[in-house]
Amino acid sequence: MSNSTPEFIPFTRPSFNQETIDAVSEVLRSGWVTSGPKLAEFESTLSKYFGDRPVRCFANGTATMKIALQVAGIGAGDEVITTPISWVATSNVILSVGAKPVFVDIDPITRNIDLNKVSAAITPKTRAIMPVYLAGLPVNMDQLYTLAKEHKLRVIEDAAQAFGSQWKGKKIGSFGDLVSFSFQANKNLTTIEGGCLVLNNTDEAKLAEKFRLQGLTRQGMDGMDVDVLGGKDNLTDVNAAIGLEQLKQLPTYQARRTALARRYFEVMRRELKAAGLEDLKLELPAENFTDSNWHMFQVVLPLAQLNADRAQIMTDLKELGIGTGVHYPAITGFTLYKNQGYKPTDTPIAERIGRSILTLPLFPAMSDEDVDRITKGFVGILQKHRKN
């Protein structure tokens, strides 16, 4: 037996090939490094990818979502229905445009907003629904858009984690209302930091361009005007060049993620059985191999059956050289939100899952043996902490 420590496996890691490094060098040498020809090429490539819908890129996913809300005209006095289980950016942008997030509980299987509970949360002030596709698994898109049409609501899809995900064979982003993606380093397609918004028409795209650069429009050679308050949220050509290369690699990444997820299910079930832990209420992700892009592989820990908390499980895994993450605690438990009267107990399923969810490593450069090692280590830890 070898006593060398195995290599640490982080919960995620981006992959960059030589072509990407070369593409970045080319931009740096070109003399034009901020938004320019590479951004235009990236936006038109993305537009083709999304079935010729207009696409505009931004400095990050957060700016993308905020601008989506601004394009939809959402602001003070408006309510936006969303999920408490997301990266806090989702509801922060709602607050930042002066609107009010209304949290609806999640479905315990998909861990996404429970669309069956949305109607009950609609008031005369409701202007939009902002669903999140956690780990890249979309909601029922037919139900979402039927609901939106029935109640005349805008939909701002927080598809930050869902680049490459599908619904009934159609890419997320290729249909629907405003669809926002993030290209942050952990996402399936990264530009280091960045994001893109898929819009309905050129008027919306022009408005989004204004919001991303100080509200500016140019006329002729020297004319300028500012008629709305915009920010500084443009994506640079360096980032766009990375995105163009990542897009070429996406099918390979996607196939690898799917294969690794399949292996997790297989090895997890086998190991749980071998350890006599079949009665453990460990919740695996929804086993969806048609729609999900497998952005993450998340389990919900059976804390009631364990004499350890999540932090202890994470510590034990770390000692085995296995990195994990928490995506996410319920937003309503954060001080900023509690101070505004929100309570995690208002959405009890989200509260429980936010407290018990754990992200295991999943990224394209992982090997099959990594999945085996992680799963065996994880099941061993569950066995050790199992209550008698």
Ligand X SMILES: *Cc1c(COP(=O)(O)O)cnc(C)c1O
The distance of closest approach from Cβ of residue 273 to ligand X in the complex, given in angstroms and rounded to an integer, is 33
Q: Using CB under 6 A, count the residues that bind ligand X.
A: 14
Binds ligand X by CB under 6 A, chosen from 86, 112, 165, 359: 86
CA distance linking residue 82 with residue 129, whole number of Å: 6
**11 part of the interface to ligand X, by CB under 6 A:** no
**89 part of the interface to ligand X, by CB under 6 A:** yes
Sheet holding 154-158, edge to edge: 55-58, 195-198, 178-182, 154-158, 126-130, 79-82, 100-103
Give me the residues paired with residue 196 across strands. 57, 181
Q: Which parts of 190-219 interact with ligand X (CB under 6 A)?
A: 195
Selected range binding ligand X among 3-11, 81-89, 107-115, 257-265, rule: CB under 6 A: 81-89
The distance of closest approach from Cβ of residue 196 to ligand X in the complex, given in angstroms and rounded to an integer, is 10
Selected range binding ligand X among 22-30, 59-67, 228-236, 279-287, rule: CB under 6 A: 59-67
CA distance linking residue 128 with residue 122, whole number of Å: 9
Task: List the structure tokens of 77.
Answer: 């006095």
**62 part of the interface to ligand X, by CB under 6 A:** yes
Closest CA to 163 of 72, 68, 57: 57
**184 part of the interface to ligand X, by CB under 6 A:** yes
The distance of closest approach from Cβ of residue 193 to ligand X in the complex, given in angstroms and rounded to an integer, is 6
Q: Confirm if 252 and 235 have CB atoms less than 8 A apart.
A: no
Q: Which is nearer to ligand X, 90 or 375 (CB)?
A: 90
Selected range binding ligand X among 37-45, 154-162, 274-282, 329-337, rule: CB under 6 A: 154-162
- CB hemisphere CA count around 156 (13 angstroms): 29
Of the residues 38, 66, 171, 187, only one is catalytic, namely 187
Tokens 């593409």 -> residue: 23
The contacts of residue 238 (CB under 8 Å, 6+ apart) are: 24, 27, 28, 33, 38
CA distance linking residue 367 with residue 372, whole number of Å: 9
CA distance linking residue 279 with residue 387, whole number of Å: 12
**158 part of the interface to ligand X, by CB under 6 A:** yes
Is 187 annotated in the active site? yes
The distance of closest approach from Cβ of residue 135 to ligand X in the complex, given in angstroms and rounded to an integer, is 9
**182 part of the interface to ligand X, by CB under 6 A:** yes
Q: Which is nearer to ligand X, 24 or 160 (CB)?
A: 160
Q: Is 284 exposed, middle or buried (0-12, 13-18, 19+ CB in 10 A)?
A: middle
**105 part of the interface to ligand X, by CB under 6 A:** no
Q: Which is nearer to ligand X, 61 or 243 (CB)?
A: 61
The distance of closest approach from Cβ of residue 204 to ligand X in the complex, given in angstroms and rounded to an integer, is 20
Chain contacts with ligand X (rule: CB under 6 A): 60-62, 86-87, 89-90, 132, 158, 160-161, 182, 184, 195
Provide the annotated active-site residues.
187
